[in-house]
Amino acid sequence: MDPLDGTASWSDFARSAPGLAAVVRARLESAEHHVLATLRADGSPRVNGTNVLWDGDDLMVGCMPGTRRAADLGRDPRCALHTAPDLPTLPEGDARLECVAVQCSADDAAAVLARTGGDGSGQDDGAPEGDLFALRLRSVSTVKVVDEHLELQVWTPTTGLRHVERS
């Protein structure tokens, strides 16, 4: 089975659910660091801080050379990205993205980094090193507290946008 089956690019997501995409992108851009979950070789989760990088409308993450998360993504590209829980209140909610990471070739990574002026790892001090991954989306969701209940917006490439309330 192709791991990219049932995924979409950020551009596809933004065309399908522009309001949610704007909220999630703003949330991703509001903080430098977010949380990336990958899968270890034994299947257990690994959680790391990460930076995101935008190449046009493509959402990407970078890994410094030799990191375990790069090895995790190379072995099993499934991952999850959670926006930084950095504020005492999150008026627009927090955002979660279930993704498949697609590793860029060294030449493609160098071109992206030349266009964006960053390396996606938070280390902007010279020639790009490490690995760069484009994130393909399996689902995107936000959750926020409104009065006495939770309001969720959930988007997937197959079901589109759904609104859910939980008390």
- Could you list the pLDDT tens digit for every one of the 167 residues in the chain? 677 788 999 999 999 999 999 999 999 998 888 999 999 999 999 999 999 999 988 899 998 888 999 999 999 999 999 997 766 666 677 899 999 999 988 888 888 888 877 644 444 444 457 899 999 999 999 998 888 889 999 999 999 999 999 88
User: Does residue 110 lie within any of the structural domains?
Assistant: yes
pLDDT of residue 125: 47
User: Does residue 3 lie within any of the structural domains?
Assistant: no
Q: Spell 26-59 as b/e; 16+ CB within 10 A means b.
A: ebbeeeeebebbbbeeeeeeeebebbbbbbeebb
Residue 28 is classified by DSSP as H
**Closest Cα partner for 10 from 71, 53, 74, 73?**
53
pLDDT of residue 121: 47
User: Does residue 113 lie within any of the structural domains?
Assistant: yes
User: Does residue 4 lie within any of the structural domains?
Assistant: no
Residue 104 is classified by DSSP as P
User: Does residue 152 lie within any of the structural domains?
Assistant: no
Tally Cβ neighbours within 10 Å of residue 99: 25
User: Does residue 153 lie within any of the structural domains?
Assistant: no
Q: What is the CATH number of the domain that holds 32?
A: 2.30.110.10
Domain that holds residue 63: 10-139
Q: Spell 143-164 as b/e; 16+ CB within 10 A means b.
A: bbeeeeeeeebbbbbeeebeee
pLDDT of residue 15: 95
Number of domains composing the chain:
1
User: Does residue 144 lie within any of the structural domains?
Assistant: no
User: Does residue 149 lie within any of the structural domains?
Assistant: no
pTM as predicted: 0.87
